[in-house]
Amino acid sequence: MPGSNLTRVEAEERKAVVTGNIHYAVALDLTAGPKTFGSTATIVFDAVAGSATFLDLIADEVTAVTLNGETLDPSAVYRDNRIELAGLRERNEVVVTALCRYSNTGEGLHRSVDPSDGNVYLYSQFEVPDARRVYAVFDQPDLKATFDFAVTAAKSWIVTSNMPVASKEDLDAVTAEGTLGDHAPETAVRWTFETTPTMSSYLTAICAGPYAEWHTEYANEDGRTVPMAQYCRQSLAEAFAKDVDYLFDITKKGFAFYAKTWGVPYPYAKYDQIYVPEYNAGAMENIGMVTIRDSYVFESKVTDALAERRVVTVLHELAHMWFGDYVTMKWWNDLWLNESFAEFTSTLATAEATEWHDAWATFCSGEKSWALRQDQLPTTHPIVAPINDLNDTYVNFDGITYAKGASVLKQLVAYVGRDKFFEGINHYLTKHAYSNATLADLLAELEETSGRDLKAWSAKWLEESGINTIAPEIDVDDDGVITSLKLRQSAPAEHAVLRPHRLALGFYNPGEDGTVTRTDRIELDVDGEITDVPEAVGKQRPALLLINDDDLTYTKIRFDEDSEEFAARNLQRVDDALARAVIWLGFWDMTRDGEFPAERFVAMTLALLAHETESTTFRYALACMSTAAHHYVAPSRRDVTLATVATKLWELAAQAEPGSDQQFQLVTAYLGYGTEEDETFAHHAEGLLDDFVRFKGLEIDNNMRWTIVSALANTNNIDADGIADELKRKETTENREFALGARAALANADAKAWAWDAALHDESLTNSQLEAVARGFAATPRPDLAEPYAATYFETIDWVWANRTYHMAEALLNGLYPIYADPATLTRLGDEWLAAHEDADRALRRLVIENVASSHRTLKVRAYNQQFA
């Protein structure tokens, strides 16, 4: 049998055999020890009589299989992570008993030990197809079922699942050495949960451990009272308690906003949010019990950008309760329907229902810049991506599925009108409640409510790859009055699709105080190569003509010559956060395309940072400036550019308001520009750590200490023993990760050799620890340390893919890519590897192609900037 990588064809064939009425009774025993747990699944289902199919299961051992009362030999029917079921009846019952393994990779049932107190925490993560790591299951989204879960765990633990607890039963004392950490054996409890509504298996969930807990309730719009809870590790409880009421309030605002906007009240019995350690994703929309990475529990100061991102994440997962859970895709090609919609509506809810009113500026700087970067890679794909198998699905949790799709949905709202759009969403949710649906089902409802023919719109926007560029062509008379304005739309040759756009043109001019404000606005439809704008004729030419004002559509923009020069000099004076974000993203895109000098982009960004107040724009401006300075400027200008940036960042930090978000981000960014030869940097960094260099209002808390330690490691101003001593101050889950990352960041050959070997071969590392080591390995901006690993990287790829799960392979292949090696070497070796691996798994090739493409871009942009050296 083919194994664990389920294909779309196999899923369709299984759906044709398993005809419905599926119910699972799943019993888990979590008291067996630190490595494995017991799993018994009883599945009843209808099928085509006389047919055959299979269950999915990844287990250490299958001890018993019974089909319709007949005992089957596990060694005969279980292989390649599947259990073969032959001779099916119209109604069937299969019972599978197995011993499954806890993971330390964030897949299946993850087991984490908190070193600060020895407590053990379990949580499940089942998307894409990892329910099969915990119980036998038809693990595909269109075989929805009802589920009964019963879980045996230590009495000191709590257990949560998708539904409220039906009963708890004390059992006899059990031996739980290892499972309970350092605690003695104790009485166990069997937790039994209420039957779920009809749902997909990837949305089922189990969490267990001595989690700290908080409870409240929500008066739902349908008259029910919905219990709500929040959970986190005991060691984070004190910090989390400060935010719990705020997060409950944000969630309640989300309930109200979505119910009002879509006309469908929250549909499930309860709503838990559980913050869990060592999580691969941001969060997961398990029905009634969302899991969220516990780096969102803030023990140390964070940027306002991250605080806002937590709000968007909470509202994103809540949106999924309707869009993705209540109505679910049939197959993973419509994954974007889940993620794009949740990303769009969570930003809308953040902007309109919370205090984060500039959320669309945040979206433009953060999410949309991600989309534009992803969409210009050789691996770009339609929003409705072709998904042939599960590996294809993994790599499509990307900037196109999330951010481009969300941006295109924003464009669709502008195209059909907001009221009509959400009326169509109401019909879609109501018609397909608790079932599966497709893009065609959604478009049918939107066409009916809006009166627009969306088939052509969908074909161009959702089913074709690539991104357009829109540029102005403007003529004025001697008095500066516009005599002609045209918008020219273009597309890359490999994706030559011109799309219909609903967008706005903003006219921006400086006032007497120098502030640049919008003085006029034209909204219009753009289609085809040339669009005339007759409404602009007779108007005074503005200092800045901004295409895609208010960020209504998804496109690259360019400026006319005068607007470009004015914007480059005056971006920081534009008074609107969203307009600044749109302009800045335009300049960054030109810089990446080799159309705007990298050093000028750096200077423009430094000027912006002296005034910018929107935290995410500030954060991404810092990040993109770093990329430009480290990779895009001409090599002969690199060192002087980096030194200039470091000096200016320190000056800006000194001038920033004490205790402000800007001060915090500027100091953090400065710490990324150290060199081993820079004694001033060492003085600053060591002084911050030892409190003889101070910024008023800046607290050197736990996370800031580790940022400084990592900066000192990256410049060889601390050694491995010093890092170990820092960890002894406070050994926690997070600080172990920081320490491993700092050790890997040490700027010497021995440290890099250790990090390379540990990342690849130390299987005791958790997923988060492995990622920290890989990041630290690649973080040192010294070509002499990266260059020896260029050839080794490509020699190692096949081994990684063959010996690691997808998530760990992705972390290794992306994290260990030696980005600071000579890009000419990386592109040569990468192209050779790709030519020799034309038949490699598509998901693997995509990971490699994207890394190599970044080096190709670096070469191209450096060549452009060489003319300015």
Helix (H) or strand (E) holding 172: strand 165-174
The tokens describing 818, both together, are: 């030696």
Q: Is residue 317 among the annotated active site residues?
A: yes
Omega before 128 cis (within 30°)?
yes
In what order do the strands lie in the sheet containing 120-125?
108-113, 120-125, 206-209, 158-161
Find tokens 């025993």 and name the residue. Answer: 29
Which alpha helices (DSSP H) does 263-334 contain, by range?
Answer: 304-320
Give the C-alpha separation, 262 to 644, whole Å. Answer: 51
What is the distance of C-alpha 696 from the center of its chain?
Answer: 34
Q: Work out the number of other CB atoms within 10 angstroms of the CB of residue 5.
A: 18
What is the per-residue DSSP string for 835-849? HHTTTS-HHHHHHHH
Helix (H) or strand (E) holding 522: strand 516-526
Helix (H) or strand (E) holding 394: helix 390-395
Is the C-alpha dihedral spanning 806, 807, 808, 812 positive or negative?
positive
Which alpha helices (DSSP H) does 6-140 contain, by range?
Answer: 8-17, 74-77
Give the C-alpha separation, 765 to 743, whole Å. Answer: 14
Name residues whose C-beta falls within 8 Å of residue 223's C-beta, 6 or more positions apart in sequence. none
**Which one is catalytic: 127, 278, 285, 317?**
317
Helix (H) or strand (E) holding 419: helix 418-431
In what order do the strands lie in the sheet containing 516-526?
516-526, 501-510, 544-547
Helix (H) or strand (E) holding 546: strand 544-547
Q: Work out the number of other CB atoms within 10 angstroms of the CB of residue 634.
A: 19
Q: Work out the number of other CB atoms within 10 angstroms of the CB of residue 427.
A: 18
Give the C-alpha separation, 328 to 337, whole Å. Answer: 9
3-state secondary structure at position 396: coil
Give the C-alpha separation, 700 to 690, whole Å. Answer: 9
β-pairing verdict for 91-101 and 36-47: antiparallel
Q: What does residue 251 show for φ and ψ, rounded to 5 degrees?
A: -65, -40
Give the C-alpha separation, 701 to 91, whole Å. Answer: 61
Which residues are catalytically annotated?
317
